[in-house]
């Protein structure tokens, strides 16, 4: 069963690609020999062989192998495509960002293989139990043989006491549950994650890219000192070196001149420091700018005005104060956020918490539209991790869901770390659970599936133990013989497998 599901995934992985060389000639190449930057040609009906961005052409893609959703998605130049998806219509050239095992699909296969090899707490208990159970059954059979002088009875005890259904029950549930999740774009990094999910009583959410879409737009540019266009050009040049969603919003602004920043330093959770020509610049949140450059009544007033309107704030400033600008940026709440959070409450999660590095005004405006119990704003990455550790010290089991490099300390500290699939590789490497679709409904489904899987494991244990007990009772009162006992024993294994297969049914998100 494990080999079958992994084999299915492996067979879906692309093997070759049509590569375009510098002269425009094409050739078929094994995906393992394709490097980032190589141009790949994909036509209608072909499987996308690499992760990359569309260079030319328009594509209509079926991304079911990645997201679990069979609906078609239209993509244009600049949009990302993923290996393993199908080009239903169009012809495109794609600039490769990853190939082979390094693609999103390759990582899905790796995660599923690792997850199926890991053991839940219940599985570890059964393994320990079996180490003692089997010798005990053997010893009992020998004693019965010596006392009764009935060799047939002793052999029957050994055969009927075999823990076949007990041994297979939990792995069968694990594979079925993890396989179901993988088909729906939910990647559990082991059945032990399901164990931990069952006991979660609080969930902390990052805001940007988690509760919100993560595609913010610049709503205002307020220049206090310096030339407006020059500041925009410089800010865009610096922000294009960052992967933070707020940075990407500024990076999309139109610019006239292409500045080339040097000596770029990321100040984790706060911003970027860079050199442009002879000048040194900062681009980051108000806390960073105020700590390093100080503030003014004009700056404070403008920040208050923008935050009261629900804007996130990014400030660009030169170290000599000659240039200073404030960018107001807004993000859109995920459409499914409210219903998903209400369903989590219905599943027994007692507290929903927002932890964000954004300002108080924006954080509370977003939280006002959601069933959020607590809001903690202006938090640095380490502050989020410290908050989670304090909650654990107070006896809570807490999950954290985020998507960025700045979320990695909190993800590492959480009892269950959940990464949105649109996030960074760092976040997904640290996470216990990856939501490939970047959909909060998938979080609800993962909690339901985890609980169903653990319940299914316990059902299988009960079936196995009850069968052995009834067989021994039947044997010693004379109702069961070896042949009939073996038949019942094998039927119990079949029942356990069939019970596990119920987990393969897709879970409704409503």
Catalytic residues: 206
Contact 397, 415 (CB under 8 A): yes
Strand partners, 316: 283, 325
| Cα(435)–Cα(82) distance, integer angstroms | 15
| Cα(323)–Cα(254) distance, integer angstroms | 19
| Cα(10)–Cα(47) distance, integer angstroms | 14
Contact 443, 418 (CB under 8 A): yes
| Cα(430)–Cα(409) distance, integer angstroms | 9
| Cα(96)–Cα(38) distance, integer angstroms | 5
Contact 418, 185 (CB under 8 A): no
Q: What is the DSSP string of 410-438?
A: HHHHSSEEEEETTS-HHHHHH-SEEETT-
| β-sheet with 262-267: strand ranges across | 217-225, 324-330, 312-318, 279-284, 271-276, 262-267
Which residue, chain included where needed, has tokens 């030339």? 227
Task: Please name the residues in contact with 214: beta carbons below 8 A apart, sequence gap of 6 or more.
Answer: 208, 245, 331, 403, 420, 422, 438
CA torsion 453→454→457→463, rounded to 10°? -110
**What is the phi/psi pair of residue 310, to 5°?**
85, 15
| Cα(497)–Cα(215) distance, integer angstroms | 45
| Cα(399)–Cα(308) distance, integer angstroms | 30
């Amino acid at each position: 069963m494990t080999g079958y599901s992994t084999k299915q995934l492996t067979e879906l992985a692309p093997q070759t690609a049509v590569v375009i060389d510098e002269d425009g000639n094409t050739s078929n190449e094994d995906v393992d020999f394709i490097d980032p930057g190589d141009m790949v040609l994909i036509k209608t009906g072909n499987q996308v062989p690499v992760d990359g961005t569309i260079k030319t052409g328009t594509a209509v893609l079926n991304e079911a192998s990645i997201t679990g959703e069979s609906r078609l998605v239209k993509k244009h130049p600049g949009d990302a495509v993923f290996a393993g998806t199908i080009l239903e219509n169009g012809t495109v050239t794609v600039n490769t960002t990853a190939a082979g095992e390094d693609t999103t699909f390759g990582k899905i296969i790796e995660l599923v293989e690792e997850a199926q090899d890991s053991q839940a707490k219940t599985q570890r208990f059964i393994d320990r139990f079996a180490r003692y159970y089997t010798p005990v059954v053997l010893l009992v059979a020998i004693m019965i043989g010596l006392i009764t002088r009935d060799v047939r009875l002793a052999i029957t005890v050994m055969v009927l006491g075999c823990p076949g259904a007990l041994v297979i029950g939990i792995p069968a549930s694990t594979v079925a549950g993890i396989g179901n999740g993988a088909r729906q774009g939910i990647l559990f990094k082991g059945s032990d994650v399901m164990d931990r999910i069952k006991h979660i009583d609080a969930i902390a959410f990052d805001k940007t890219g988690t509760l919100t879409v993560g595609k913010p737009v610049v709503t205002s540019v307020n220049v206090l000192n310096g030339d407006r266009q020059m500041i925009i050009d410089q800010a865009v040049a610096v922000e294009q070196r960052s992967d933070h969603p707020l940075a990407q919003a500024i990076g999309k602004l139109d610019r006239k001149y292409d500045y080339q920043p040097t000596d770029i330093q990321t100040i984790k959770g706060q911003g970027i420091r860079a050199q442009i020509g002879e000048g040194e610049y900062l681009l980051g949140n108000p806390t960073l700018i105020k700590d390093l450059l100080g503030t003014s009544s004009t700056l404070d007033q403008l920040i208050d005005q923008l935050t009261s309107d629900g804007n996130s704030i990014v400030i660009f400033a030169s170290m000599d104060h000659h240039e200073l600008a404030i960018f107001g940026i807004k993000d859109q709440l995920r459409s499914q956020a409210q219903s998903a959070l209400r369903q989590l409450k219905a599943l027994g999660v007692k507290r929903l918490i927002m932890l964000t590095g954004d300002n108080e005004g924006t954080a509370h405006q977003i939280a006002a539209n959601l069933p959020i119990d607590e809001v903690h704003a202006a938090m640095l990455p380490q502050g989020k991790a410290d908050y989670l550790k304090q909650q654990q010290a107070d006896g809570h089991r807490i999950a954290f869901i985020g998507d960025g490099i700045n979320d990695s300390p909190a993800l590492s500290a959480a009892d269950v770390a959940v990464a949105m699939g649109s996030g960074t590789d760092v976040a997904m490497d640290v996470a216990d659970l990856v939501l490939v679709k970047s959909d909060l409904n998938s979080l609800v489904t993962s909690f339901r599936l985890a609980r169903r899987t653990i319940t299914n494991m316990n059902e299988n244990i009960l079936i196995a133990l009850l069968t052995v007990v009834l067989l021994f009772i039947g044997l010693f009162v004379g109702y069961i013989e070896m042949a009939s006992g073996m038949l019942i024993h094998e039927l119990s294994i079949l029942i356990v497998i069939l019970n596990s297969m119920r987990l393969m049914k897709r879970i409704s998100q409503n």
